[in-house]
Each structure stands twice: as C-alpha cells, then as structure tokens.
A = this chain, B = another copy of it.
Amino acid sequence: MADQKKMVAEITSMDEDFTQWYTDVCMKAELVSYSQLKGFMVIKPAGYALWEGIQQHLDARFKATGVQNVYMPMLIPESLLKKEGELVNGFAPEVAWVTQGGTEPLTERLCVRPTSETLFSDFFKDDVHSWRDLPRVYNQWCSVVRWEKETRPFLRSREFLWQEGHTIHATKEEAEARTQQMLNVYADFLAEDLAIPTIKGQKTEKEKFAGAEATYTIEALMHDGRALQSGTSHFFGQKFAEAYDITFTDKNNTLQYVWQTSWGMTTRVIGAMIMVHGDNRGLVIPPRIAPTEVIIIPVQQRKAGVLEKAYELRDRLVESGMRVKVDDTDKSPGYKFAECEMRGVPLRVEIGPRDIEAGKCVLVRRDTLEKEECALENLSARVEELLAAIQGDMYTKAKKHMEAHTYVAHNAEEFRKTFEEKTGFVKAMWCGDRACEDKIKELYGVTSRCIPYEQEKVADTCVCCGRPATKMVIWGKAY
C-alpha cells in the first residue's frame, strides 16, 4: 500500500512550477517512464492507450478523405537522403546512423528515418506513370528518430511515434487543396476529439519545414501560456519531384512532374492534451479519447450486493456503448478517488450500500469536480449527457483560456511590455523580413507561431522595425 500511496501523492502545483507539474503528471499518471537510453522513453499502458485513441480517431478521419495506409523501410541510404539538399541540411545534424549490419560494416551508411519524404519520393518515382495513377494519398504510422539535445516526455524525445502522410497530385491546385484539407482534419480532430482549440496559419520562411515551399500549422496554447505546434501540413511544389524524378504523362501525353504534400501529427499532442486540460489533481482526459470514460467505485464493497450492483451498472453502461470499468481492487475508496482523478477518467460513479437502498448513486465530473446524485434508473441517460457536456465544456474552457491569453501589441513598446508581463499569443504586425523575426527572438525569446488565416490589421507598421507591414503574425514562447 505504501507504494500505491506514493502514486497519488501530491504533485507539484502547476502555479508553482508548471514544468515540474507536467513531469509529475506524466510519471504519476503512469503515462511514461524514462529508459536507460537518454532521450528515449517507455510509453506505459495508460500513455499508449491515449495514443491508441488518437490513432483510431485520426485514422478514421484520414480514411474518410481517401487516405490509404502503407509502410516504408525505417532505414534510408545516405545517398537517397541527400538527393534533396534542403531536407538533408535540415535533418542531417540530428539523425542516427547505422554503419554495421550483421557482422559486416556497411558500404553505405543508413540513417534511421527522421521523416520519410525521401523514401516516399523514391517509391513514387517507379510507382507512377500516367495521370490515371494520380493522386496517391498515402500515410504511415511509425516511429522516427531525431537526435535532439534536450528531451521531455511526449514533447521532445529522440524517438517518437507519429503518422506521416505523403501525397502526389497531377496539379498544383489539387496538391494545395490537399494540404489545406489535412490541416483542417487536424484542427477538427483537436477541437472535436481532444477538445483543444487551435489557430490555423502559415509558417514564416524561417519556421517552415526543411524542403517545403509552404508549411501550414495549427498552434495550441497551453495552460501556462506557451504555444505548442500541434500538427503541420506541407506543400512541396515540385521540389522533390525534380530531385527524385517523379514524373507522369498527363492527358495530353506530356511528361510532367507531380505536385507533392506531406503532413504529420505526433505523440506531442498527448503533451498538448495534458497541458491544456490537466489540473492540480492530475490528468483530465476528454471523454472521446478516454480509454475509460466512466469508472465505477464501490463504497464498502465487502457488504453484500455492492460489487454485484457495481458490475450490473457497468454492464448497463457498456451496453449503451460506453467504455466503463469497475475499480474492485482492495484499495480504500478515498485512494481510488484520488487515483482516478490523477488518471483523468472523465466521470466517476460512487455507489455504496446506502445508495443502493435509496436507488441512487453519486456522479463526479473530473473536469469540474462537481458532484450530483442520480437515480439508478436514469443512469445511462444521465451519464451520456454528462460525457457530452464534459467534452463540450472542456473545449469551451480551453477556448476561453486561449482567448484570455491572446494579446494585441500595436507597437514595439506594447510588444515588449506584453512579453515582459504575460505569456500567451501576441498578435502583432510584421514587415515580412527575417531579420525582424531573428531580432524578436533574440530580444524576447519568442518565435512567430504562424501568420494566421484570420488576419486582422492591428497596426500599419512592423512591431520590430517600424516599417510598413501588412501581415499580422501570432507570436509566442513555444515548447
């Protein structure tokens, strides 16, 4: 019991030390564990179940738009990686190299994929011949390796799980439309399934993906006011097509290069979910992706009929299509309450002998910690209502938080003051010059999160250099 108590022992308050709070939640909710190998983590059952929920919802959304899943090799020959210069320059400093296979040294070293544009391009080259073969709309679920210096659970690690979509098209318009379509899929998924509002926009040249002509992003705001890039979609134009010679004959029998996109979302979104919804009692999981939506905790479970009633309620809720568990372990009810709060189960049902006698139970929402009594005959209907309410309210709360932490800076002075006093999104005008971006980063440690689709003309001049500016940028401190 001593070991178990430790698990739900108090965690660092998020207001006191948000970084430590985050690590505490990851560890005490048993999502991850460090491995012996620096920067590599073990994803434990509670963490992996979140990823499975994410995969399931996202994959269904992908397939509804015609995406097909495939699997490419995990190793990339150096010569293949180097065909497209910008990509390799972007990734070369952070790849892991395999130099020996079996008992023999390799004649060419192979990198563990940091991303798979090169492999998909090499595959498409031989797979596509005519306009009839287009588009190809492929995705793969896999792990990738990037040799990061600083690592944190889910947010940055040397290996992470993700999906990477790769598509080729006959026309620029179609490729551009796919880029936007997938960004919308990501934004809808975050809003509807993870209850996380985001801002959609385009990355600046400085912040875009190595090798892309344009990178689009959804940016979310964490509880501490820092930004998290939560999904990106890239338009490559014909860059890879030219480097890898991916051509097709169009309807007029003319040889053309294809137009290409890629888009990815990673286990980082689990970090987003933790940092947007979590509180000082631990995780708060949105019902739609919660491995367990409802936990039933029997009180005085050794008394006759209590466990039986708990199982009966579970069966009833399961029959209504919910994911439900009974905690029938020999821990105390108080311990179980704290544990399911730490683990973020959206709704808990408490039921004891007196409740059974009175034909009722107690429902406790994880998000608001509100309690209510519920007649047993209404349980399924009420639980369903509450789960929907929790999902909706979590989104609304996160949206309000984002709005309350989104500021406008009309000039350099306001910009400086805002970042001195607050942490959040700051809307400000930008001249389009990279030098200003660099200077802002140097001065305030913030980066341009995106040039949002929803533009507002908050001023006439760049917040950095004072020259005329037409683009509004969202700035922020990023994870």
Contacts and interface: CB of A to CB of B under 8 A. Distances in A.
Contacts of A93: 102-103
Q: Lowest 6 A-B CB distances belong to which pairs? A: A102-B147, A40-B73, A45-B68, A43-B71, A97-B100, A101-B147
A375 interface: no
A97 to B, nearest CB: 4
A158 B145 CA distance: 19
17 contacts: A33-B126, A36-B80, A36-B122, A37-B75, A40-B73, A40-B75, A48-B68, A48-B69, A51-B71, A52-B69, A71-B143, A75-B145, A96-B100, A98-B99, A101-B147, A102-B147, A142-B143
Contact of A35 (B37, B122, B147): B122
A48 B70 contact: yes
A112 interface: yes
Contacts of A76: 37
Interface string A154-171: 000011010000000000
A221 interface: no
A78 B102 CA distance: 14
A478 to B, nearest CB: 21
A94 interface: yes
Contacts of A97: 98-101
Interface string A133-159: 100001000110101000000000011
Interface string A82-103: 0000000000011111111111
A72 interface: yes
A161 to B, nearest CB: 7
A36 B40 CA distance: 29
A186 B70 CA distance: 24
Copy tally for this chain in the complex stands at 2
A74 B122 contact: no
Contacts of A122: 35-36
A129 interface: yes
A302 interface: no
A23 B133 CA distance: 23
Interface string A9-24: 0000000000000000
A42 interface: yes
Given A98-B97, A147-B102, A77 B45 contact: no
A48 B48 CA distance: 22
Interface residues of A, number: 58
A266 to B, nearest CB: 13
Nearest to A143: B74
Interface string A24-61: 00000000010111001111110011011000000000
A127 interface: yes
Contact of A159 (B43, B75, B159): B75
A123 interface: yes
Interface in A445-468: none
A94 B104 CA distance: 10
A138 B45 contact: yes
Given A3-B133, A45-B69, A102-B147, 19 more contacts: A3-B129, A3-B132, A35-B122, A36-B77, A37-B76, A43-B70, A48-B68, A48-B69, A74-B74, A75-B96, A75-B159, A94-B102, A95-B102, A97-B98, A97-B99, A98-B112, A99-B99, A99-B100, A101-B147
B147 A41 contact: no
A158 to B, nearest CB: 8
A110 interface: yes
B101 A159 contact: no
A130 interface: yes
A294 interface: no
Contacts of A95: 102
Contacts of A110: 37, 96
Contacts of A342: none
B112 A73 contact: no
Contacts of A80: 36
A313 interface: no
